[in-house]
Amino acid sequence: MVQIIHTPTLIQAAGSPPKQIAEFVGRVNTGTCDVSIAHMKSPEGWSEPGQTPEFDEYSIVLRGKLKITTRTDSLEAIAGQSVIALAGEWVQYGTPEPEGAEYLAICVPAFSPETAHRDEV
């Protein structure tokens, strides 16, 4: 059955300063457990605790720059680029750019705080 998602659900984000998460598809907005699709808007200087998630995360940078830190590397994806972070790999996201970043995050299976396994702060 085809379904129109009229509005996303705003979700409180981990990290500081706060970023905006608008979940279109996922556990909160549609009750979908197989995938989540969210539109992220993060300000300059935002970063979140590292995590070792049970889901693959695909990020598509729409504006600005997304910083991705792993145990062995630090990468930056700019607008028009995408990032794949596989389940079980430690990763930390941030937006160091003066204008922050806007990006889409797709998680398979769907994101949940319990399966993100964030580091203790």
Q: Which band of pLDDT confidence, cut at 50, 70 and 90, is reported for residue 121?
A: confident
SS3 content of the chain, % helix, strand, coil (to 5): 5, 50, 50
- What residue ranges define each of the domains in the chain, with the CATH number in brackets? 9-116 (2.60.120.10)
pLDDT in tens, 61-102: 999 999 999 999 999 999 999 999 999 999 999 998 788 999
Kindly report the number of other CB atoms within 10 A of residue 102's CB atom.
19
Judged against a pLDDT cut of 80, whether residue 42 lies above it is answered with: yes
Q: Which band of pLDDT confidence, cut at 50, 70 and 90, is reported for residue 43?
A: very high
Residue 99 has what pLDDT? 86
